[in-house]
Structure 1
Amino acid sequence: MARVGTGVRAFRAVLAAVLGASLVGALAGCSSTGGKRAEDARKAAAAQGRSAVNTPKWTIAMVTHSGDGDTFWDIVQSGAKQAAVKDNINFLYAHSDEGQQQAQLVDSYIDKKVDGLIVTLAKPDAMKAAVAKAVRAGIPVVTVNSGAEQSKAFGALTHIGQDETVAGEAVGEELDRRGRKKALCVLHEQGNVGHEQRCAGVRETFGGDLQNLYVDGTNMPDVQASIEAKLQTDRAIDAVVTLGAPFADAAVQAGKSAGSKAEVDTFDLNAKVATGLRDGSLGFAVDQQPYLQGYEAVDLLWLYRYNADVLGGGRPVLTGPQIITEKDAARLQGYTERGTR
């Protein structure tokens, strides 16, 4: 029996030595690749619907100026929800394309004492008092997409999005490169300052003639009919610029019905736009990366709550513009089909 006990003790000693050596090797490996492994773990946790942090379950609400059925905001929400999973955030979303109703939605979330707010300022005058109320209540606010000029003055931590004037200027320059002489800028939401800035930016750099066309973006048949009528009466128009991805297809159909050869270009990207770029029915698109806007807005509010971090240094955090053409569409097709670009 004594010899058996000695053998067992010897085996345990050897096993302990082996396990110890393995542990040392594992720790050594972590020291050199710990950052990557930690990042992989965070991504895996998010993909499986698990939080990658152990901070409190804060609630963050997003209120946008989106109308019903606008796929652009589906992409924004996709990014926000992914960040919310990673950051252990309870994410809430509401929208209205009426400025006063949007402000009332913000007020309702203030009353619920949310831990952070994400808002758009497409109609800043209607939103000013609501944002100020949130700031007074100690609720940190991040603005996204619209309102870069008003964000800081209204008390927001930072703004995430593209500079709409700069984006418009990029479109004007691209139209010039393509030899266009007369363009139509289709505004689908009256009163949206960002839309006005886009068309003004195009006008600033475009060497040709630019005309604005106001349409009812909530009525797609009306959008198509309005563009078609304009193309029929003015055959000199050789480019149509829509300000949102869902309206690009309406412009393409309008051009076909009108017998127009005008190139259709658009702001924003989705799966249908990527397909249009590949088959040549669209010329180019301006991507402002909406997924990134939603993701970063949630992540920055989490960082502020957790560590008082603020990005931007008082200036907007830009997510665009990026000109997307046929050569880029194939590479991005998979992302657009899964709803993240």
Structure 2
Amino acid sequence: MWNRPFTAAQSGVGRRGIMQTAALGASMAALGGIRRAAAETVSHPRFRLVFVNHVTTNPFFTATQYGLRDAAALVGADTQWTGSENSIAAEMITAINAAIAAKASAIAVCLVDPHAFNDPVERALAAGIPVFAYNADAPAGSGNKRLAYIGQDLFKAGQMMGQRILDLVPGGRVALMIATPGQLNIQPRIDGAQDMLRKSGRSYQIDIVATGATVNEELSKVKAYYLGHSDVKGMFAVDGGTTQSVADTMAQYGLAAKGVRGGGFDLLPRTLRLINDGHLDFTIDQQPYLQGYYTVMEMYTYLMSGGLVGPAEINTGLKFVTKGDVAPYLATKSRYEGSSSEAQFIPRSGPIQS
């Protein structure tokens, strides 16, 4: 089923981009009697954009869905959110094949496997349907012919986490924890973190810990690891569920007070609260809203221009969230971080830190 775009009120008419369009339209009307901005009068097909996800019900992607719907509302497109609930490649391929059969205008897919999606992506391209990767990308040399990747530079994000670990832990035993080793939306992060630690020349004993796909399993594995390695100097995770489990374990055993450091990825509410309480050093915001928003905009410009504009690789970046700047995340519920469905303008006060 296609999702119709939100109305102007639902998609946030107070946003700067829409206000700029409105101001331009008013100026043109005053000068030449034109009632609407040129962008509003361009005729184009009703584009149908399909997003194929590997964990469709995961709360991390709530903000991604808001982002893609907000962008679709601006450009006049319909969207479909489909794929697999449990990262089963065969189910995702079935969704891609269904989108091809339905003659979708464009397809976006999380390429969580290095080779499984090569054939369906080629079939889509052969049918004239552009395919973009978002959130996770096939590695160079995999043979996947997607047009562009929109999402975090995962290896670089891991390197940046590794640098933060170097700042926090001078040496000794360090645990790097990952829910599902080998999965392309998280494995590059742990590779990047290891790269930084190994290049540092310091004496680290690095333990790679696989924690599992469910929160209960992750928490059990993290606790078991700590109880068996009480000499650990730091525990760091590359996925949201394991990060929350690290924070819970740190809190339960009072590890921050013992000098153990910890951190990870994503903005689960409990993770943020435990950072605020001083149990976890940091988490990384990987900008999930932009992964949906920018992907729609790239699809739209590619389709509108007949392929002349783009495709372009887009790194959605990252932000470190620490005790010093976690307060706004806790105080504000917004669709930009997936904690509210309300479209709103969020005023900012104080200096902007780069």
TM-score by length of 2: 0.75
Q: Secondary structure at the match of 1:91?
A: strand
Q: Distance in 2 between matches of 1:94 and 1:189?
A: 21
Q: Deviations over 1:110-145 (max 9, x none)?
A: 111100000011113111111111111110111111
Q: Could you tell me which residue of structure 2 aligns to residue 31 of structure 1? A: none
Matched, 1:130 2:126: no
1:59 is the counterpart of 2:48: yes
The aligned residue for residue 81 of structure 1 is: 69
Mapped partners of 1:137, 1:297: distance in 2? 20
- 1:303 deviates by 0.8
In 1, Cα distance between equivalents of 2:96 and 2:274? 37
Report whether the alignment pairs 1:113 with 2:123.
Answer: no
* In structure 1, distance between residues paired with 2:280 and 2:46: 44
Work out whether residues 56 and 88 of structure 1, in 8 Å CA contact, stay in contact via their aligned partners in 2.
Answer: no
- Residue 324 of structure 1 corresponds to which residue in structure 2? 321
SS of the aligned residue for 2:231 comes to coil
- Could you list the per-position Cα deviations for residues 63-103 of structure 1 after superposition, in whole angstroms to 9, with x for gaps in the alignment? 011264x2111111111111111111110011320112211
In the comparison of the two structures, how many residue pairs are matched?
Answer: 295
> 1:23-54 CA distances to partner (integer Å, 9 max, x unpaired)?
xxxxxxxxxxx996416689xxxxxxxx9675
2:218 aligned partner: 223
Task: Give the partner amino acid of 1:281.
Answer: H
Alpha carbon RMSD of aligned pairs, Å? 2.7
Which of 267, 270, 273 aligns to 2:271? It is: 273
**Counterpart amino acid of residue 281 in structure 2:** G
Alignment CA distance shift 1:172-1:179 (3 Å)? same
Matching of residue 289 in structure 1 with residue 287 in structure 2: yes
Give 1:246's aligned residue. 241
Aligned pair in 2 of structure 1 residues 36, 83: CA closer, same or farther (>3 Å)?
closer
- Of stretches 241-250 and 167-176 in structure 1, the one that deviates more from structure 2 is 241-250
Equivalents in 1 of 2:157, 2:280: separation in Å? 18
SS in 1 for 2:132: strand
Gaps of 5+ in 2: 1-16, 26-38, 338-354
Does structure 2 conserve the Cα–Cα contact (< 8 Å) formed by 1:277 and 1:326?
Answer: yes
Indicate if the aligned counterparts of 1:61 and 1:116 stay in contact, CA closer than 8 A.
yes
- Deviation larger for 188-197 or 225-234: 188-197
Give secondary structure in 2 for the equivalent of 1:154: coil
Q: CA deviation at 1:269?
A: 2.6
Q: Kindly indicate whether the alpha-carbon contact (under 8 Å) linking 2:53 and 2:82 is maintained by their aligned counterparts in 1.
A: yes
Between structure 1 and structure 2, the one with the greater Rg is 1
More helix as a share of residues: 1
Q: Which residue of 1 aligns with 2:10?
A: none
Identity %: 21
State the distance in 2 between where 1:273 and 1:39 align: 40
